[in-house]
Structure 1
Amino acid sequence: MFTYAPLMATLHKRKISKVDLQKLTKISSSTLAKIGKDEFVSMKVLNEICDVLHCEIEDIIAHVKEEDHQS
């Protein structure tokens, strides 16, 4: 599975709220909720976040093995 924990850490380091991210990227509140629940969001959204934050994909998403996540 994938987690957006790196995104939350990146936002925290930069003192950017999720609401600010939503305004900067113009993503919907439902997409922001999906990110909060580690659910699927499109590559287009991930690209927009990377562009706005001037960061790499690994700064916003990470892969976690299912058995590691469930422990």
Structure 2
Amino acid sequence: MISYKPFQKLLIDKEIKKMDLKKQAGISAATMAKLNTNEYVSLEVIDKLCAVLECQPGDLMEYIPENK
């Protein structure tokens, strides 16, 4: 499973509001909701977020193995 917890932490650390980021990155409210619930988002979205936040994809997400 992919978790976007690091993304949430990054926003807090950089003191960026989700609404401001949404406008700057040009992403929809639905996409922001997906990030909040660890749903799939495209690499295009990750690219836009990295450009605005000046970070690497690994700064936004982490892989969490599911228990088998």
**TM-score bin (small chain):** over 0.9
Equivalent position of 1:66 in the other structure: 66
**Higher percent of residues as helix:** 1
Equivalent position of 1:49 in the other structure: 49
Q: TM-score, normalised by structure 2?
A: 0.94
- The size of the alignment, in residue pairs, is 67
Unaligned runs of 5+ in 2: none
Q: TM-score, normalised by structure 1?
A: 0.90
Equivalent position of 1:32 in the other structure: 32
Equivalent position of 1:14 in the other structure: 14
- Deviation of the 1:47 alpha carbon: 0.6
Unaligned runs of 5+ in 1: none
Task: Determine the C-alpha separation between the residues in 2 that align with 1:18 and 1:62.
Answer: 19
2:31 maps to a residue whose letter is: T
